[in-house]
C-alpha cells in the first residue's frame, strides 16, 4: 500500500520542532485535580491516538479503561492505599523514600476518587483467538510507546495527568474484571489542575546530557 505523508520544507521542520518542544516542555505530572468537567469524547480520541502506536508484530497488546464510576473508584482507591501503605511503611528502601521526598507523595491517593476520571492501561501478556493463546511480542515496549502517545495527546488538548503506579497492581484487573491475559500497566488519572495546584520545581536534563551523536 502506498504511503505519502506530508513533506515540509527544512525551514518549516525546524519551526515545527521548536514549537513542539516548547509545548512538551510545559507538560507536567499533576497530583491535584479540579472537579471541572472534562469532554470525555476528547479523551476517547486521545486513546484512539494512543492506539496508533507501533507494536510488536502489530499485535496492539493494550486495553485502555476509562473509569469515572464513583463506586469502582472507591474500591480502586481502597485497594491502592492498602498496598501503598505497606510500600511507605517498610516495603520501599530508605534510598527510595529519600528519592521521593521532593514529590511529597505518601500512601494517601485522593486523586483516584476526585480526578474527573482514570485511564487504566492493561498490557496483554498474550493474545487469544479461536485456537487459544497467541503470542505477543515486545509488550512492555509497545504499551510504553502507546502510553507516551496518550500523555502527549492529553497534553495537546490541555489536560493534565499522572502516571500512577500502585504496586503491586493486580487488584486493578480484579476490580475491573479484565480477562486473564490482561495485566495492569499504569493508572492515569486525568483532568484539569486544581486552582491552587503546585508541582515540584524540577530540572530536566539538558540536551547534551541525553543526546550523544556518533
The footprint of ligand IYR (CB under 6 A) covers 84, 87, 100, 103, 105, 164-167
Q: How far is the CB of 166 from ligand IYR (least distance, A)?
A: 6
Q: How far is the CB of 23 from ligand IYR (least distance, A)?
A: 23
Q: How far is the CB of 110 from ligand IYR (least distance, A)?
A: 12
If the CB atoms of residues 70 and 104 are measured against ligand IYR, the closer one turns out to be: 104
If the CB atoms of residues 61 and 185 are measured against ligand IYR, the closer one turns out to be: 185
Strand partners, 29: 161
Count of alpha carbons within 13 Å of 145, Cβ hemisphere only? 13
Q: How far is the CB of 89 from ligand IYR (least distance, A)?
A: 12
CA trace torsion 108, 111, 112, 116 (10° rounding): 170
If the CB atoms of residues 54 and 168 are measured against ligand IYR, the closer one turns out to be: 168
Burial of 29 (0-12, 13-18, 19+ CB in 10 A): middle
Q: Which of 82, 102, 116 is nearest to 194 (CA)?
A: 116
Helix axes of 10-25 and 139-156: crossing angle, nearest 10 degrees: 90
Q: How far apart are CA 64 and CA 56, in angstroms?
A: 18
If the CB atoms of residues 84 and 182 are measured against ligand IYR, the closer one turns out to be: 84
If the CB atoms of residues 128 and 167 are measured against ligand IYR, the closer one turns out to be: 167
Q: How far is the CB of 73 from ligand IYR (least distance, A)?
A: 16
Amino acid at each position: 500500500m502506498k504511503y505519502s505523508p506530508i513533506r515540509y520544507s527544512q525551514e518549516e521542520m525546524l519551526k515545527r520542532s521548536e514549537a513542539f518542544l516548547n509545548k512538551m516542555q510545559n507538560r507536567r505530572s499533576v497530583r491535584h485535580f479540579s472537579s471541572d468537567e472534562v469532554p470525555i469524547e476528547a479523551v476517547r480520541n486521545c486513546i484512539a491516538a494512543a492506539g496508533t502506536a507501533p507494536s510488536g508484530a502489530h499485535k496492539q497488546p493494550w486495553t485502555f479503561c476509562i473509569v469515572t464510576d464513583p463506586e469502582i473508584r472507591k474500591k480502586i482507591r481502597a485497594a491502592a492505599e492498602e498496598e501503598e501503605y505497606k510500600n511507605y511503611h517498610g516495603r520501599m528502601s530508605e534510598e527510595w523514600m529519600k528519592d521521593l521526598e521532593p514529590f511529597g507523595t505518601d500512601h494517601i491517593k485522593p486523586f483516584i476518587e476526585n480526578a474527573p476520571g482514570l485511564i487504566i492501561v492493561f498490557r496483554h501478556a498474550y493474545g487469544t483467538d479461536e485456537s487459544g493463546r497467541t503470542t505477543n511480542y515486545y509488550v512492555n515496549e509497545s504499551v510504553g510507546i502507546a502510553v507516551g502517545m496518550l500523555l502527549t495527546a492529553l497534553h495537546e488538548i490541555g489536560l493534565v495527568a499522572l502516571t500512577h503506579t500502585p504496586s503491586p497492581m493486580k487488584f486493578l484487573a480484579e476490580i475491573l474484571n479484565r480477562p486473564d491475559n490482561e495485566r495492569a500497566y499504569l493508572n492515569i488519572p486525568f483532568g484539569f489542575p486544581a486552582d491552587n495546584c503546585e508541582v515540584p520545581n524540577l530540572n530536566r536534563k539538558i540536551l547534551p546530557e541525553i543526546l550523544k551523536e556518533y
